[in-house]
Amino acid sequence: MGTKVFLRQKSISGKRKSLFLDYWPPIENLKKDKPGQKPTTRREFLGLYLFDEPKNETDEQQNAENLQLAEQIRNKRDIQLNGNKDLSEYEKRMLEKDAKERAKGEASFIEYFQKLVDKRKGSNHDNWVCAFNYLNNYTNGVLKFENLNQSFCNDFRDYLLTTKSNKSDKVTLSTNSALSYFNKFKAALKQAYTDEFLQTDLNAKIKPIKEDETHRNFLTEKELNQLVKTECNYPLLKRAALFSAMTGLRFSDIQKMVWSELEYIEGQGYFILFTQQKTGGVEVLPISEQAAKWLGERQEPNSKVFEGLTYSAYSNKHLAKWIGLAGIRKDITFHSFRHSYAVLQLSKGTEIYTVSKMLGHRDLKTTQIYAKIVDELKRKAADVIQLDINFNDNESK
Protein backbone atom coordinates (compact mmCIF):
# COMPACT_ATOMS: atom_id res chain seq x y z
CA MET A 1 0.00 0.00 0.00
CA GLY A 2 1.42 3.35 -1.05
CA THR A 3 1.27 6.73 0.64
CA LYS A 4 -1.79 8.80 -0.18
CA VAL A 5 -1.31 12.52 -0.73
CA PHE A 6 -4.32 14.80 -0.22
CA LEU A 7 -4.60 18.53 -0.92
CA ARG A 8 -6.25 20.22 2.07
CA GLN A 9 -7.24 23.75 3.14
CA LYS A 10 -6.99 25.36 6.57
CA SER A 11 -8.74 28.60 7.54
CA ILE A 12 -6.35 31.29 8.81
CA SER A 13 -6.53 35.00 9.66
CA GLY A 14 -7.42 37.63 7.10
CA LYS A 15 -10.31 35.64 5.64
CA ARG A 16 -7.89 33.29 3.89
CA LYS A 17 -7.17 29.59 3.65
CA SER A 18 -3.73 28.02 3.70
CA LEU A 19 -3.13 25.14 1.29
CA PHE A 20 -1.27 22.09 2.58
CA LEU A 21 -0.60 18.45 1.74
CA ASP A 22 -1.87 15.69 4.04
CA TYR A 23 0.11 12.41 3.95
CA TRP A 24 -1.31 9.04 5.02
CA PRO A 25 0.37 7.11 6.39
CA PRO A 26 2.81 9.79 7.67
CA ILE A 27 6.16 10.21 5.92
CA GLU A 28 9.62 10.66 7.35
CA ASN A 29 10.81 14.13 8.29
CA LEU A 30 14.56 14.05 7.67
CA LYS A 31 15.13 17.17 9.77
CA LYS A 32 13.17 16.10 12.86
CA ASP A 33 12.81 12.31 12.87
CA LYS A 34 15.66 10.36 14.42
CA PRO A 35 17.11 7.28 12.66
CA GLY A 36 14.84 4.28 13.21
CA GLN A 37 12.02 6.46 14.51
CA LYS A 38 8.53 5.92 13.14
CA PRO A 39 7.67 8.56 10.46
CA THR A 40 5.72 11.46 11.96
CA THR A 41 5.08 14.01 9.22
CA ARG A 42 1.43 14.39 8.21
CA ARG A 43 1.30 17.93 6.88
CA GLU A 44 3.34 20.02 4.44
CA PHE A 45 2.21 23.66 4.19
CA LEU A 46 2.86 25.04 0.73
CA GLY A 47 2.94 28.78 1.40
CA LEU A 48 -0.02 29.20 -0.97
CA TYR A 49 -3.28 30.83 0.05
CA LEU A 50 -6.87 31.30 -1.11
CA PHE A 51 -9.21 34.21 -0.50
CA ASP A 52 -12.36 33.05 1.33
CA GLU A 53 -14.37 35.81 -0.31
CA PRO A 54 -12.72 36.98 -3.55
CA LYS A 55 -13.48 40.69 -3.99
CA ASN A 56 -12.69 40.97 -7.67
CA GLU A 57 -11.50 39.16 -10.77
CA THR A 58 -7.88 39.51 -9.66
CA ASP A 59 -8.58 37.63 -6.41
CA GLU A 60 -10.45 34.91 -8.30
CA GLN A 61 -7.58 34.54 -10.75
CA GLN A 62 -5.13 34.34 -7.87
CA ASN A 63 -7.19 31.56 -6.23
CA ALA A 64 -7.28 29.59 -9.48
CA GLU A 65 -3.52 29.93 -10.04
CA ASN A 66 -2.65 28.90 -6.48
CA LEU A 67 -4.98 25.88 -6.64
CA GLN A 68 -3.41 24.81 -9.91
CA LEU A 69 0.09 25.19 -8.51
CA ALA A 70 -0.83 23.30 -5.34
CA GLU A 71 -2.24 20.43 -7.37
CA GLN A 72 0.96 20.28 -9.42
CA ILE A 73 2.97 20.01 -6.18
CA ARG A 74 0.64 17.29 -4.91
CA ASN A 75 1.16 15.30 -8.12
CA LYS A 76 4.92 15.69 -7.83
CA ARG A 77 4.96 14.45 -4.22
CA ASP A 78 2.73 11.50 -5.17
CA ILE A 79 5.19 10.49 -7.91
CA GLN A 80 8.16 10.90 -5.57
CA LEU A 81 6.56 8.63 -2.96
CA ASN A 82 4.78 6.06 -5.10
CA GLY A 83 6.58 6.04 -8.46
CA ASN A 84 4.94 6.25 -11.91
CA LYS A 85 4.92 2.64 -13.13
CA ASP A 86 1.18 2.54 -13.74
CA LEU A 87 1.02 5.79 -15.71
CA SER A 88 0.38 5.98 -19.45
CA GLU A 89 2.99 7.45 -21.80
CA TYR A 90 0.89 10.60 -22.10
CA GLU A 91 0.71 10.98 -18.32
CA LYS A 92 4.45 10.45 -18.05
CA ARG A 93 5.09 13.18 -20.66
CA MET A 94 2.78 15.50 -18.77
CA LEU A 95 4.67 14.77 -15.57
CA GLU A 96 7.99 15.42 -17.31
CA LYS A 97 6.60 18.71 -18.59
CA ASP A 98 5.40 19.54 -15.11
CA ALA A 99 8.83 18.72 -13.71
CA LYS A 100 10.47 21.13 -16.16
CA GLU A 101 7.97 23.84 -15.30
CA ARG A 102 8.55 23.21 -11.61
CA ALA A 103 12.31 23.54 -12.19
CA LYS A 104 11.73 26.91 -13.80
CA GLY A 105 9.43 27.84 -10.95
CA GLU A 106 12.19 27.05 -8.48
CA ALA A 107 14.61 29.34 -10.33
CA SER A 108 15.45 32.77 -8.92
CA PHE A 109 13.67 35.72 -10.50
CA ILE A 110 16.21 38.01 -8.78
CA GLU A 111 19.08 36.35 -10.66
CA TYR A 112 17.06 36.48 -13.90
CA PHE A 113 16.41 40.21 -13.37
CA GLN A 114 20.13 40.81 -12.72
CA LYS A 115 20.98 39.25 -16.09
CA LEU A 116 18.52 41.60 -17.81
CA VAL A 117 20.15 44.54 -16.01
CA ASP A 118 23.60 43.48 -17.24
CA LYS A 119 22.38 43.65 -20.86
CA ARG A 120 21.29 47.31 -20.59
CA LYS A 121 23.58 50.20 -21.50
CA GLY A 122 23.79 53.94 -20.90
CA SER A 123 21.29 55.85 -18.77
CA ASN A 124 18.77 53.05 -19.30
CA HIS A 125 21.18 50.73 -17.48
CA ASP A 126 21.19 53.06 -14.47
CA ASN A 127 17.38 52.95 -14.24
CA TRP A 128 17.43 49.16 -14.44
CA VAL A 129 20.03 49.04 -11.66
CA CYS A 130 17.82 51.21 -9.44
CA ALA A 131 14.77 49.06 -10.20
CA PHE A 132 16.77 45.93 -9.32
CA ASN A 133 17.98 47.44 -6.04
CA TYR A 134 14.44 48.27 -4.89
CA LEU A 135 13.20 44.79 -5.82
CA ASN A 136 16.19 43.19 -4.11
CA ASN A 137 15.56 45.21 -0.95
CA TYR A 138 11.85 44.37 -0.96
CA THR A 139 12.45 40.62 -1.28
CA ASN A 140 15.69 40.42 0.72
CA GLY A 141 17.21 38.91 -2.39
CA VAL A 142 14.88 35.89 -2.41
CA LEU A 143 12.13 35.56 -5.01
CA LYS A 144 11.35 32.44 -7.03
CA PHE A 145 9.36 32.48 -10.25
CA GLU A 146 6.72 30.29 -8.62
CA ASN A 147 6.07 33.04 -6.06
CA LEU A 148 5.36 35.66 -8.70
CA ASN A 149 1.65 36.41 -8.93
CA GLN A 150 -0.67 39.41 -9.23
CA SER A 151 -0.84 39.85 -5.49
CA PHE A 152 2.96 40.09 -5.18
CA CYS A 153 3.20 42.49 -8.13
CA ASN A 154 0.54 44.77 -6.67
CA ASP A 155 2.25 44.71 -3.28
CA PHE A 156 5.58 45.63 -4.88
CA ARG A 157 3.91 48.50 -6.73
CA ASP A 158 2.51 49.80 -3.42
CA TYR A 159 5.96 49.44 -1.87
CA LEU A 160 7.55 51.62 -4.55
CA LEU A 161 4.89 54.29 -4.00
CA THR A 162 5.53 54.47 -0.25
CA THR A 163 9.19 53.56 0.30
CA LYS A 164 11.98 56.00 1.07
CA SER A 165 14.41 56.96 -1.64
CA ASN A 166 17.70 55.07 -1.63
CA LYS A 167 19.41 58.45 -2.04
CA SER A 168 17.87 59.87 1.14
CA ASP A 169 15.96 58.02 3.84
CA LYS A 170 14.15 61.29 4.64
CA VAL A 171 12.50 61.58 1.22
CA THR A 172 9.83 59.30 -0.23
CA LEU A 173 10.57 57.97 -3.70
CA SER A 174 8.88 60.24 -6.26
CA THR A 175 5.88 58.90 -8.13
CA ASN A 176 7.58 59.24 -11.50
CA SER A 177 10.69 57.41 -10.25
CA ALA A 178 8.45 54.65 -8.87
CA LEU A 179 6.72 54.54 -12.26
CA SER A 180 10.05 54.17 -14.07
CA TYR A 181 11.27 51.36 -11.80
CA PHE A 182 7.94 49.51 -11.86
CA ASN A 183 7.96 49.67 -15.67
CA LYS A 184 11.36 47.96 -15.63
CA PHE A 185 9.89 45.28 -13.36
CA LYS A 186 6.95 44.85 -15.78
CA ALA A 187 9.37 44.61 -18.70
CA ALA A 188 11.21 41.82 -16.87
CA LEU A 189 7.92 39.98 -16.33
CA LYS A 190 7.10 40.31 -20.03
CA GLN A 191 10.50 38.89 -21.00
CA ALA A 192 10.14 36.06 -18.48
CA TYR A 193 6.80 35.13 -20.08
CA THR A 194 8.44 35.19 -23.52
CA ASP A 195 11.24 32.96 -22.19
CA GLU A 196 8.59 30.59 -20.74
CA PHE A 197 9.65 31.01 -17.13
CA LEU A 198 6.13 32.29 -16.43
CA GLN A 199 3.05 30.41 -17.60
CA THR A 200 0.84 33.52 -17.48
CA ASP A 201 1.49 37.02 -18.83
CA LEU A 202 1.57 38.83 -15.49
CA ASN A 203 2.75 42.04 -17.14
CA ALA A 204 -0.53 42.33 -19.02
CA LYS A 205 -2.59 41.71 -15.89
CA ILE A 206 -1.11 44.25 -13.49
CA LYS A 207 -1.86 47.95 -13.61
CA PRO A 208 1.04 50.37 -14.12
CA ILE A 209 1.73 53.35 -11.89
CA LYS A 210 0.06 56.50 -13.17
CA GLU A 211 2.43 59.31 -14.05
CA ASP A 212 2.29 62.51 -12.02
CA GLU A 213 1.62 65.58 -14.09
CA THR A 214 4.77 67.55 -13.33
CA HIS A 215 5.37 71.16 -14.26
CA ARG A 216 7.69 71.29 -17.26
CA ASN A 217 9.55 74.57 -17.62
CA PHE A 218 10.24 75.70 -21.16
CA LEU A 219 11.63 78.73 -22.93
CA THR A 220 9.69 80.96 -25.30
CA GLU A 221 11.07 81.90 -28.71
CA LYS A 222 11.83 85.37 -27.34
CA GLU A 223 13.76 83.91 -24.39
CA LEU A 224 15.75 81.61 -26.69
CA ASN A 225 16.74 84.63 -28.79
CA GLN A 226 17.82 86.37 -25.59
CA LEU A 227 20.06 83.40 -24.84
CA VAL A 228 21.52 83.52 -28.37
CA LYS A 229 22.63 87.10 -27.69
CA THR A 230 23.90 86.38 -24.16
CA GLU A 231 27.49 85.28 -23.58
CA CYS A 232 28.06 82.01 -21.73
CA ASN A 233 31.28 81.15 -19.89
CA TYR A 234 30.90 77.59 -21.21
CA PRO A 235 30.47 78.12 -25.01
CA LEU A 236 30.25 74.39 -25.71
CA LEU A 237 27.26 74.11 -23.36
CA LYS A 238 25.58 77.07 -25.03
CA ARG A 239 25.92 75.49 -28.49
CA ALA A 240 24.61 72.14 -27.24
CA ALA A 241 21.65 73.68 -25.39
CA LEU A 242 20.50 75.78 -28.34
CA PHE A 243 20.99 72.80 -30.65
CA SER A 244 18.67 70.82 -28.33
CA ALA A 245 16.07 73.61 -28.51
CA MET A 246 16.16 73.46 -32.31
CA THR A 247 16.12 69.65 -32.64
CA GLY A 248 14.51 68.27 -29.48
CA LEU A 249 17.47 65.95 -28.85
CA ARG A 250 18.23 64.78 -25.31
CA PHE A 251 21.53 65.61 -23.63
CA SER A 252 22.66 61.96 -23.82
CA ASP A 253 22.13 61.82 -27.59
CA ILE A 254 23.86 65.17 -28.15
CA GLN A 255 26.78 64.16 -25.96
CA LYS A 256 27.47 60.94 -27.89
CA MET A 257 26.76 62.37 -31.36
CA VAL A 258 29.54 61.84 -33.92
CA TRP A 259 30.01 63.52 -37.28
CA SER A 260 29.17 60.38 -39.27
CA GLU A 261 25.59 60.66 -37.93
CA LEU A 262 25.08 64.00 -39.73
CA GLU A 263 24.15 63.73 -43.40
CA TYR A 264 23.20 66.26 -46.06
CA ILE A 265 21.01 65.23 -48.99
CA GLU A 266 20.75 67.62 -51.93
CA GLY A 267 17.25 69.00 -52.23
CA GLN A 268 16.18 67.59 -48.84
CA GLY A 269 18.55 69.15 -46.34
CA TYR A 270 20.27 67.89 -43.17
CA PHE A 271 19.47 64.67 -41.29
CA ILE A 272 20.78 63.00 -38.14
CA LEU A 273 20.83 59.18 -38.21
CA PHE A 274 21.31 57.86 -34.67
CA THR A 275 20.24 55.36 -32.02
CA GLN A 276 18.45 56.88 -29.04
CA GLN A 277 20.49 56.40 -25.87
CA LYS A 278 17.36 56.13 -23.70
CA THR A 279 15.06 53.90 -25.77
CA GLY A 280 17.47 52.18 -28.15
CA GLY A 281 15.26 53.21 -31.08
CA VAL A 282 16.91 53.95 -34.44
CA GLU A 283 15.94 57.44 -35.57
CA VAL A 284 16.23 59.55 -38.73
CA LEU A 285 15.75 63.14 -37.61
CA PRO A 286 15.55 66.01 -40.14
CA ILE A 287 17.06 69.23 -38.77
CA SER A 288 17.08 72.78 -40.09
CA GLU A 289 20.05 74.35 -41.81
CA GLN A 290 20.23 76.87 -38.96
CA ALA A 291 20.43 74.04 -36.41
CA ALA A 292 23.23 72.41 -38.41
CA LYS A 293 25.25 75.65 -38.24
CA TRP A 294 25.42 75.32 -34.44
CA LEU A 295 27.53 72.21 -34.95
CA GLY A 296 30.53 74.08 -36.32
CA GLU A 297 33.02 72.81 -38.89
CA ARG A 298 32.78 69.12 -39.81
CA GLN A 299 35.51 66.91 -38.34
CA GLU A 300 36.53 63.24 -38.72
CA PRO A 301 33.57 60.79 -39.00
CA ASN A 302 34.15 59.16 -35.61
CA SER A 303 34.90 62.41 -33.80
CA LYS A 304 32.29 63.67 -31.36
CA VAL A 305 30.45 66.79 -32.51
CA PHE A 306 30.37 68.21 -28.98
CA GLU A 307 33.73 66.87 -27.82
CA GLY A 308 34.25 67.47 -24.09
CA LEU A 309 30.59 68.08 -23.23
CA THR A 310 29.83 66.77 -19.74
CA TYR A 311 26.92 66.81 -17.30
CA SER A 312 28.17 67.94 -13.92
CA ALA A 313 27.82 70.51 -11.15
CA TYR A 314 30.28 72.62 -13.15
CA SER A 315 28.08 72.66 -16.25
CA ASN A 316 24.93 73.26 -14.21
CA LYS A 317 26.58 76.25 -12.55
CA HIS A 318 27.40 77.84 -15.89
CA LEU A 319 23.96 77.02 -17.27
CA ALA A 320 22.26 78.79 -14.36
CA LYS A 321 24.55 81.83 -14.70
CA TRP A 322 23.89 82.05 -18.45
CA ILE A 323 20.12 81.87 -17.91
CA GLY A 324 20.34 84.60 -15.25
CA LEU A 325 22.47 86.91 -17.42
CA ALA A 326 19.79 86.65 -20.12
CA GLY A 327 17.26 88.01 -17.63
CA ILE A 328 15.26 84.78 -17.48
CA ARG A 329 13.75 83.98 -14.08
CA LYS A 330 12.84 80.33 -14.56
CA ASP A 331 14.21 77.10 -13.14
CA ILE A 332 15.81 75.85 -16.36
CA THR A 333 17.72 72.60 -16.79
CA PHE A 334 19.30 71.26 -19.96
CA HIS A 335 16.23 69.08 -20.52
CA SER A 336 14.11 72.25 -20.58
CA PHE A 337 15.51 72.98 -24.05
CA ARG A 338 13.97 69.72 -25.31
CA HIS A 339 10.68 70.75 -23.67
CA SER A 340 10.96 74.12 -25.41
CA TYR A 341 11.30 72.43 -28.79
CA ALA A 342 8.14 70.40 -28.23
CA VAL A 343 6.04 73.34 -26.98
CA LEU A 344 7.20 75.68 -29.77
CA GLN A 345 6.55 73.09 -32.48
CA LEU A 346 2.99 72.47 -31.25
CA SER A 347 2.25 76.16 -30.67
CA LYS A 348 3.30 76.94 -34.24
CA GLY A 349 0.85 74.38 -35.62
CA THR A 350 3.00 71.28 -36.16
CA GLU A 351 0.75 68.22 -36.00
CA ILE A 352 1.13 66.28 -32.71
CA TYR A 353 1.93 62.95 -34.41
CA THR A 354 4.79 64.62 -36.27
CA VAL A 355 6.13 66.17 -33.07
CA SER A 356 5.90 62.79 -31.34
CA LYS A 357 7.97 61.19 -34.12
CA MET A 358 10.51 64.03 -34.03
CA LEU A 359 10.95 63.59 -30.29
CA GLY A 360 11.28 59.81 -30.65
CA HIS A 361 8.39 59.13 -28.27
CA ARG A 362 7.08 55.58 -28.25
CA ASP A 363 3.75 56.62 -26.77
CA LEU A 364 1.66 59.56 -27.99
CA LYS A 365 0.53 60.12 -24.39
CA THR A 366 4.00 61.44 -23.60
CA THR A 367 3.71 64.08 -26.33
CA GLN A 368 0.19 65.02 -25.21
CA ILE A 369 1.69 66.48 -22.02
CA TYR A 370 3.13 69.27 -24.19
CA ALA A 371 -0.20 69.71 -25.99
CA LYS A 372 -1.78 70.49 -22.60
CA ILE A 373 0.84 73.18 -22.02
CA VAL A 374 0.00 74.75 -25.38
CA ASP A 375 -3.71 74.69 -24.53
CA GLU A 376 -2.95 76.50 -21.27
CA LEU A 377 -0.95 79.12 -23.19
CA LYS A 378 -3.88 79.66 -25.55
CA ARG A 379 -6.21 80.06 -22.58
CA LYS A 380 -3.93 82.70 -21.08
CA ALA A 381 -3.60 84.41 -24.46
CA ALA A 382 -7.40 84.60 -24.77
CA ASP A 383 -7.53 86.47 -21.46
CA VAL A 384 -4.78 88.99 -22.32
CA ILE A 385 -7.07 91.52 -24.00
CA GLN A 386 -9.19 93.23 -21.37
CA LEU A 387 -11.20 96.35 -22.29
CA ASP A 388 -12.22 98.95 -19.72
CA ILE A 389 -15.93 98.23 -19.99
CA ASN A 390 -18.48 98.07 -17.21
CA PHE A 391 -21.16 95.69 -18.38
CA ASN A 392 -24.49 96.63 -16.83
CA ASP A 393 -27.99 95.69 -17.69
CA ASN A 394 -28.50 98.61 -20.15
CA GLU A 395 -25.25 98.04 -22.08
CA SER A 396 -25.79 94.31 -22.40
CA LYS A 397 -29.16 94.78 -24.13
Per-residue model confidence as pLDDT tens digits over 77-135: 887 777 765 556 655 566 566 666 666 778 899 999 999 999 887 657 888 999 999 99
Residues 55 and 170 in one domain: no
Per the domain annotation, does 213 fall within a domain?
A: no
Residues 228 and 369 in one domain: yes
> Which of 63, 84, 106 is where one domain is finished?
106
Q: What's the whole-number mean pLDDT along residues 164-183?
A: 84
User: Higher-confidence residue: 41 or 182?
Assistant: 182
Per the domain annotation, does 389 fall within a domain?
A: no
Amino acid, single-letter form, for residue 382 = A
Given pLDDT bands bounded at 50, 70 and 90, which one contains residue 200? confident
* Burial of 370 from C-beta contacts in 10 A (0-12 / 13-18 / 19+): buried
Residues 241 and 376 in one domain: yes
Residues 137 and 255 in one domain: no
Residues 313 and 227 in one domain: yes
Residues 306 and 235 in one domain: yes
Residue 212 has pLDDT above 70, yes or no: no
pLDDT of amino acid 175: 85
Residues 163 and 189 in one domain: yes
Per the domain annotation, does 391 fall within a domain?
A: no
Per the CB < 8 A criterion, the answer to whether 256 and 304 are in contact is yes
Note down the domain range covering 273.
Answer: 221-382
pLDDT of amino acid 239: 93
Q: What percent of the chain has pLDDT over 90?
A: 33
pLDDT of amino acid 189: 95
Residue 220 has pLDDT above 80, yes or no: yes
Q: What's the whole-number mean pLDDT along residues 249-269?
A: 89
Per the domain annotation, does 236 fall within a domain?
A: yes
Distance between CA atoms of residues 170 and 369, nearest Å? 30
Residues 269 and 337 in one domain: yes
What is the total count of domains within the chain? 3
Residue 36 has pLDDT above 70, yes or no: no
pLDDT of amino acid 226: 94
Distance between CA atoms of residues 282 and 43, nearest Å? 57
Helix (H, G, I), strand (E, B) or coil at 93: helix
Residues 137 and 159 in one domain: yes
Per the domain annotation, does 299 fall within a domain?
A: yes
Query: Residue 270 is part of a domain; what is its CATH number?
Result: 1.10.443.10
Residues 138 and 284 in one domain: no
Per the domain annotation, does 163 fall within a domain?
A: yes
